[in-house]
Amino acid sequence: MSKQLNFLVIAWSFLVLASIVSLFVGAITISPLGAAKFLLGDSTGLTGTERTIMLELRLPRLITAILVGSSLGVAGVGFQALFRNPLADPYIIGASSGAALGVTIAIVIGWQAAMFGLRTSAIAALLGSLAVVAVVMAIGALSMRSGSLSLLLAGVALSSMINSIVSLLMFWNDEKVIVIFAWLMGSLASNDWQSITSTSLIALVGLAVIWSISRPLDAYLLGDDASQSLGLNLVLFRLLLVAGASIATGAAVSSAGIIGFVGLIAPHMARWTIGPKHFWLVPMSACYGGIILIVADAIARTIVSPTELPVGSITALLGCPFFVGLLLLRSRTSTVLGGAS
Amino acid sequence: MNHVVVDQFKFGYTGKMVIDGVSLDLKSGEVLVLLGANGAGKTTLLRLIARQIKLESGSMSLNDCDVITLSRPKLAQQIALMPQHENRTSMLTVLDVVSLGRMPHCGWWAPLSKIDQSRVRDAIATTGLESLTDRSILELSGGEWRRMILARAIAQDASVLILDEPIAGLDLKYQYEVLDQVRHLTKQNQLVTIVTLHDLNMAAMFADRIAILHNSKLLAIGKAEDVLTSERIRQAFGVEVSVVEHPSLKTPLIIPLHDFSKMRTGVGHE
């Protein structure tokens, strides 16, 4: 077994362990053995109430955490590669702003819709997110020579404009500010099995697209001339990359709102553990993204129990010092920081 | 046998012609060196031949097959480019980067076959990079980096090798080493190789033929002794030189006639 495969197996084992722990912690504590057995399909160790808590609350929440974390981790890999920039994250191209605008408009006009098992806010977020990415791509296509830089600038500019529109909508509809704000803070709660199934399918498409272009991603990081010389059709490749990363981001945003930082730190942690080759980096980032969100959600549910904190604030609050610590440790032990890869 | 025909290439930026009606005819086992002053269009011409940028007009064929309409992967199987600059941001190893040379053959997903692996090993051996295979590319010196990119181009197994200033930044020993390898490969595998250089004497020693670009057009093409005359060098580069015969190689030897001491005195008086 290769070294990378070993690392991957260990990391995914941690994810399973974190999953078990997250199932038995919360406002009501469930025995660890019962939680582990439940994951293996045996619910005899649990009372009726515990079984309901597991089945209706914690398990959907756990799966949402894995789904959202993995999607953000992989989307982070995609966008960092696209912009050849280690600071890029899944929201840089305007996906989060678009999602926020979509949900804000839906709440303001009282839009109700259900499609493929997705809730109104999920559909609005997904549509808003994809619409903005499409506009950014169109602007990028129109300014043909500047490639990924024009995408980055278009995304940043459009995001600023959309954030202003969201603020204005909140200002004019102050009775709905709390509803909008709660969504913007991000939450893993209230995803039912039907919406989880639908979002999983969307997320898997995004993850599969990014993983399937692992080798071209390695080549792309060497520059436009080098990657074209290695047979890469840059227009087609960038389209696939943006589509895959945006679909993964859309799936995450539609499930849990805007959760920052995971898409930035998961790829870096993965790169430091398993190296820069995307064939390994993509599944490792998915794994770390899942672990980060499981842990953040467990903290959000338990730290001031029974009150629940927004998971988005936990990821940023704990993610930042953790990331800075890793950064310092890394720069002390190596001359190479890690680059954009 | 490989045969490359470049016919009436034209290309410009915002109304200014950079390449204007350039035609070339190159045969198997031939090394053509492109010379010209800064901004003469050497790199642009190489990028047009490698289809990195889109031609305004003109055509190109390789073994009577239209290169302009080839898909990117097919083109990469035929033409390998060693660009002047590459991004140094990824932490890939030397082996990873050289292995990417096989991407046009094995595609985006399939693992490298035994043939692919053997081509990669050969390319690494040819460029003397065996001891560096597991080293991060961020830790390579300028010379090692150039050899790695050359190894990747070799692994690509193409019929046409395009090298944009392959010896820029290298000391003399590595300049000879890299150009020796390029020449040996071109002859051994009957490739067509096009190289840009700045050193006129190196070009005279290394090239089978030399082409000089001036004002977006092809000023001259032919054997070094026919092309590298003092008049033509004055016309293309705006400098005075004397051209003599190399005492042992019998190639043209360009002696600069520029007097720096006169310049210094002039500046001092001002």
Mean pLDDT, all residues of chain A: 84
d(CA A29, CA B66): 71
3-state secondary structure of B38: coil
Contacts of B210 (CB under 8 A, 6+ apart): B32, B33, B35, B203, B204, B220, B221, B222, B223, B224, B227, B228
Closest CA to A89 of A75, A99, A100, A70: A75
Read off the pLDDT of each residue in A278-282 and give the average, rounded to a whole number: 96
Which residues span the domain enclosing A46? 3-333
What does the pLDDT average to over A277-287? 96
| B222–A contact, CB cutoff 8 A | no
Whether residue A321 lies inside any domain: the answer is: yes
Q: Does A226 touch chain B (CB under 8 A)?
A: yes
Is the CB of residue A269 less than 8 Å from the CB of residue A327?
Answer: no
pLDDT digits (tens, 9 = 90+) for A32-78: 787 778 777 787 777 888 888 888 888 889 999 999 999 999 999 99
**Chain A positions in Cβ-Cβ contact with residue B97 (cut-off 8 Å):** 222
- A29 found inside a domain: yes
Across the range B85-102, mean pLDDT stands at: 89
Dig out the tokens for A27 from the structure.
């406002």
Pairwise CA distance, residues B232 & B79, whole Å: 31
Is residue A289 a part of any domain in this protein?
yes
Interface contact flag, B92 A233, Cβ < 8 Å: no
The two tokens of residue A191 are 């995803």
A188, part of any domain: yes
Residue A110 lies in a domain: yes
Indicate whether A197 belongs to any domain. yes
The answer for residues whose C-beta is within 8 angstroms of residue A168's C-beta and 6 or more apart is none
Mean pLDDT, all residues of chain B: 90
Question: Which one has a higher pLDDT value, A89 or A191?
Answer: A89
**Total H helices, total E strands in chain A:** 15, 0
**Nearest CA to A230 among B48, B220, B102?**
B102
- Label residue B268 by pLDDT band (50, 70, 90): very low
Nearest CA in chain A to B76: A231
Nearest to B91 among A224, A226, A275 (CB): A275
**What is the average pLDDT across A249-257?**
84
Q: Kindly state the percentage of chain A with pLDDT values over 70.
A: 93
Q: B42 pLDDT exceeds 50?
A: yes
Q: Is A175 on the interface with B (CB under 8 A)?
A: no
What pLDDT does A337 receive? Answer: 34
Asked whether residue A269 carries a pLDDT value surpassing 70, the answer given is yes
Q: What's the pLDDT score for residue A315?
A: 87
Q: Is residue A340 part of a domain?
A: no
**Which pTM does this prediction carry?**
0.85
Residue A301 predicted with pLDDT over 90: no
Q: Among candidates A12, A2, A7, A43, which has minimal Cα distance to A291?
A: A12
The mean per-residue pLDDT over the stretch A226-249 comes to 90
CATH number at A116 reads: 1.10.3470.10
pLDDT at A223 over 50: yes
- Model confidence band, residue B264 (pLDDT cutoffs 50, 70, 90): low
pLDDT tens for A178-208 read 888 877 777 787 677 877 888 888 889 999 9
Number of domains in chain A: 1
Look up the ipTM and state it.
Answer: 0.86
- Kindly list the distances between the CA atom of residue A127 and the CA atoms of A120, A248, A249, A316, B108, in Å, as whole numbers in the listed order: 11, 13, 12, 26, 30
- Is pLDDT of B178 > 90? no
Q: Per the domain annotation, does A341 fall within a domain?
A: no
Contact across the interface for A225 and B73, Cβ inside 8 Å: no
Give the bridge partners for B16, in sequence order.
B13
pLDDT above 90: percentage of residues in chain A? 32
Average pLDDT over residues B2-26: 91
**One-character DSSP codes across B42-100:** HHHHHHHHTTSS--SEEEEEETTEESTTS-HHHHHHHEEEE-S--------BHHHHHHG
Contact present, A244 and A233 (Cβ < 8 Å): no
